[in-house]
Amino acid sequence: MKRREFITKMGAGALAAGTGVTALGAAQAAGKRFRWKMVTTWPPNFPIFQDGVKRFAKEVRRMTRGALTIQVFAGGELIPPLQSFEAVSQGTVEVGHGAAYYWAGKIPAAQFFTAVPFGLNAQGMNAWLYSGGGLELWREIYAPHKLVPFPMGNTGVQMGGWFRKKIETVNDLKGIKMRIPGLGGKVIAKAGVNPVLLPASEIYTALERGTIDATEWVGPYHDLRLGLYRAAKYYYYPGWHEPGPTLEMIISKEAWEALPRELQLVVENAARASNLWMLSEFEARNLEALRTLKEKYHVQVIEFPGAVLAELKQLTARTLQEEASKDATFKKVYEEYQQFQRSHDAWNKISESAYARAARDR
C-alpha cells in the first residue's frame, strides 16, 4: 500500500514541473508553447502500434490547443528504431514509444514492464502497474537514465506462433529454427530450439523458404497482414512467451519537468486513454482476423500440447532464476512481480478464468 500511496502522490504533484507550481505560475506558463519530437520503434503505418502513437499526439495537440505539439517519427525516420532509449535519455528528442524489453541489454529488469513468459496478462499488468506498485518501481529503475516511463498500449495475449510442422511432443522442438526474441527465446532455447532474430521485413521470406521453421509475431490481425498463413500451416496458441505485453512511452526527465502541471496531466491521461484504446483495437481486430484465418484460409489453429507447455513453464522458472542471479535489480523486480502475480493468479482463477469456462463450455 505504501508504494501505491506514493504513486498517487506522484500523480498529484510530486512529478509536476515543480511542486511549487502555483495558479500564477501556471498562468504565466499558459502562453508558452512546447514542441516535442517523438520517435518510435515501429515501422511507419504499423497498424495500432504506430497508428496509436499518432492518434495520441493528435489528441494531445488538440486538447492543449497546440500548447504541446508532438511530431511523431517512425523507427528509422529520425533515429534507428532501437536507439530511441538513448536518444530520449540524452535529450536528443523528448519522447519515445516502444517496449521496455527492447532495453534488456542495458536493463535486464526492464523486461518485467513489457511481459515475461507465463507472467501477467493485460488486465494483470495494468493492475500491477497502476494500482499495485509496478509503475513506481519502473520509474525508480528508469530514473538514473533520466527517463519517465508510462504504460501506453497492450497487445493482449499474443499467439504462440506459426510452425511448418506439427509440435506433438517436446522432442519436436529440438533443432528447429524459430524467430523468437527475448526471454521467450532464452526459454525455448533450453528446449532445444535455435532462436533467431529477424526484423519484420524478413520474416515472411525466411519462413516461406524454410530458412526458419517457425516464427512468432503478434496476433491474428498482424499475422494475417504479414501473410504468414501462406508460409506455414500450423498456428499455435497460447502465446505463453508474451501474455500481455505492455507498450511504453518514455519522456526525457528534463522535458517532463519543464511542462506545466496541466500539460503533464494531459499527457498522463492521454497515455492512459491510449493504453486502453490500443488494447481494445487489438482485441476487436484480432477476433475478426481469427475468423478470416479460419474461414477463408482454413488455417489450422492448434493448442500447444499440455506436456510442451508444462516443460516451457519449468524452463521459464529456471531462466528467470538464472537472470535473477546475475542482476540485483532483476532479482528485486522479479520478487515483487512474483508476489503480485501469485495473488493475481488466485483471483483470476475464480473470476475471469472461471467465468470464461462457465460462459463458453456449459
Three-state SS at 148: strand
Among 41, 50, 64, 89, binds its own copies (CB under 8 A): 64
List the interface residues with its own copies, window 270-289 (CB under 8 A): 270, 272-273, 275-277, 279-281, 283-288
Grid cell in block for residue 191: 528446449
Give the shortest CB-258-to-its own copies separation in angstroms: 17
Among 92, 130, 194, 198, binds its own copies (CB under 8 A): 130
Total interface residues for its own copies by CB under 8 A: 82
Give the shortest CB-56-to-its own copies separation in angstroms: 10
347 scored as a contact of its own copies (CB under 8 A): yes
Rounded to a whole number of angstroms, the distance between the first and last alpha carbons of the chain is 39
Among 97, 139, 253, 344, binds its own copies (CB under 8 A): 344
Find where cell 529440438 sits.
174
Whose Cβ is closer to its own copies: residue 75's or residue 160's? 160
- Please choose, from the candidates 141, 150, 143, 142, the residue with its C-alpha nearest in 3D space to the C-alpha of residue 329: 141
How far apart (Å, rounded) are the C-alpha atoms in residues 196 and 181? 7
Three-state SS at 234: strand
222 scored as a contact of its own copies (CB under 8 A): no
Chain CA centroid to CA 110, Å: 11
Give the shortest CB-251-to-its own copies separation in angstroms: 17
Give the shortest CB-194-to-its own copies separation in angstroms: 23
220 scored as a contact of its own copies (CB under 8 A): yes
Among 2, 144, 201, 359, binds its own copies (CB under 8 A): 359
Three-state SS at 37: strand
List the interface residues with its own copies, window 87-116 (CB under 8 A): none
Give the shortest CB-219-to-its own copies separation in angstroms: 8
Residues 6+ apart with CB under 8 A from 84: 39, 40, 41, 75, 93, 96, 97, 98, 250
191 scored as a contact of its own copies (CB under 8 A): no
27 scored as a contact of its own copies (CB under 8 A): yes
Give the shortest CB-261-to-its own copies separation in angstroms: 7
- Please choose, from the candidates 104, 10, 77, 121, the residue with its C-alpha nearest in 3D space to the C-alpha of residue 320: 104
2 scored as a contact of its own copies (CB under 8 A): no
C-beta neighbour count of 333 within 10 angstroms: 25
- Please choose, from the candidates 168, 159, 114, 177, the residue with its C-alpha nearest in 3D space to the C-alpha of residue 282: 159
Write the CA distances from 229 to 80, 217, 233, integer angstroms.
Answer: 29, 12, 6
Q: Which stretch binds its own copies (CB under 8 A): 162-170, 173-181, 251-259, 352-360?
A: 352-360
